[in-house]
Structure 1
């Protein structure tokens, strides 16, 4: 049955008046969020560049929230909740990967039109990205320096480096389950990056050779590999996007640009989990 009367959601109970009441805009503070895109030039594509990076930072904030909770759950041997959180982190990085497709619609000439106005600002300086790397285990002290001018950020970084990383907690879970983990690994300086250990790989090999006997640890290992898989893809997409847009120019923050990003492709977050596959 058709009618010429316009549909009115209020007739079905939809709330239509918000004077003095919380609205969608109020809850999400959209005036603040949507007012944060202040272009420095009148070029069309600068808006794309800003939104790409701002939304990436929002997704990274959620990733840090989930990684922190997953780490705490693993520390308490609550592995099932950790699996859900780690799956979410992997999906966050899938979302971040998809975002590169949008940025790649910007051509070199379009980026060049406003690139000089960025000054020395660069994604290399993202403190949330640095915290993600530190939280999962890639703890390079040289990467702290770009944040030294901000005491509040340094406080977060210092607190992160003082506690075991996500992977440290996974390795400690192996030991608590009765698997042989070298004592020097368990007692290492957690502020430093975990170095590959034959003993840790041997412990993971026990898990992989008999998944049924170690199912929770087996699933934990695969959740970590899932995350690093998406993380590696994100780094690769970063490299190809930068090369497509600026070629081999230096980055705005002074890095080698593509050459720097390609070096990052070689970093292994959970080395034993990748190399154990060769041993099975």
Structure 2
């Protein structure tokens, strides 16, 4: 047999490559066959496949957002403003796609959800390790929220590392301090394993940024962080609405209070002083 890579090489045409030994290079790179094999519905309910695919796609978007925020955080540590901004803008596009990914299941009725809900038992989005990483990078930290990963050494270690590292917002404030803005010392030296709490001194820092020249790169940083915070809050709100629509006030599958828990999480601040400062400018 002739050892050819492609029929197009034999014919000299411009047709795409079609003759491969084994899997295609596309599948070797993207692992599409692996991804397509991961949907294993437990019932014959017509909406379960959409629920599985949507949830898995959301996990992929979490992974990308976390990846970009890590890059942005490290760039800020190095005072590389442009690299940080590029990563933050990429993360915003990924987060907006994450928000849109809810659409296939956002309008499930209670009866449609109930057709397969019992099948996944105690599984709950609350248990997502990657989403917890995302929240830790925002500065919304709590050791107790790591409890679902206690029996998973790898996932727990990743969360433990992020718990004790400065968040994206912590490094933003340290960067502003190095740029000459008076970020309070007690904020710079705070226990980064605790959830970030708003501080009037940080609000004053952002007031100076927002009251300054409109072409200031630090203002662009503030507005990009605002875009990200808005995307996060919209995600939380849309997730809450989809859950309320599908199950009302029932107890969550993982033992939480369900909608009530999501309502509490939806109100958690994201980069708080960037929002409160707007009333001072």
Instruction: Specify if TM > 0.5.
Output: yes
In the alignment, is the contact (CA less than 8 A) between 2:250 and 2:258 conserved in 1? yes
- Whole-Å separation in 2 of the counterparts to 1:150 and 1:130: 14
1:15 and 2:17 equivalent? yes
TM-score for the superposition, normalised by structure 2: 0.92
In the alignment, is the contact (CA less than 8 A) between 2:57 and 2:101 conserved in 1? no
1:221-267, CA deviations, whole angstroms, 9 ceiling, x for partnerless residues? 11111001011000000011011111111110111111111111211
1:102-152, CA deviations, whole angstroms, 9 ceiling, x for partnerless residues? 112432211101111111100011010000000121112221111111111
Aligned partner of 1:137 in structure 2 is 139
Which runs of 5 or more structure 2 residues have no equivalent in the other structure?
A: 1-7
Alpha-carbon spacing, 1:186–1:95, altered in 2? closer, same or farther (3 Å): same
Aligned partner of 1:4 in structure 2 is none
Residue number among 168, 176, 180 corresponding to 2:178 in the alignment: 176
Aligned partner of 1:50 in structure 2 is 52
Alpha-carbon spacing, 1:19–1:194, altered in 2? closer, same or farther (3 Å): same
Aligned partner of 1:86 in structure 2 is 88
- Whole-Å separation in 2 of the counterparts to 1:112 and 1:21: 39
Alpha-carbon spacing, 1:191–1:10, altered in 2? closer, same or farther (3 Å): farther
Deviation at 1:46, TM superposition (A): 1.0
Aligned partner of 2:3 in structure 1 is none
TM-score for the superposition, normalised by structure 1: 0.93
List structure 1 runs of 4+ shifted beyond 3 angstroms.
none
Q: Secondary structure in 2 aligned to 1:211?
A: coil
- Whole-Å separation in 2 of the counterparts to 1:84 and 1:170: 14
- Whole-Å separation in 2 of the counterparts to 1:10 and 1:39: 45
Greater mean alpha carbon deviation, residues 147-156 or residues 81-90: 81-90
- Whole-Å separation in 2 of the counterparts to 1:200 and 1:211: 19
Alpha-carbon spacing, 1:10–1:234, altered in 2? closer, same or farther (3 Å): farther
- Whole-Å separation in 1 of the counterparts to 2:248 and 2:82: 44
1:13-42, CA deviations, whole angstroms, 9 ceiling, x for partnerless residues? 521211168521221112211111111112
Deviation at 1:68, TM superposition (A): 0.4
Greater mean alpha carbon deviation, residues 171-180 or residues 91-100: 91-100
Q: Secondary structure in 1 aligned to 2:64?
A: helix
Which runs of 5 or more structure 1 residues have no equivalent in the other structure?
A: 1-7
Question: Cα RMSD over matched residues?
Answer: 1.7
Paired residues, number? 272
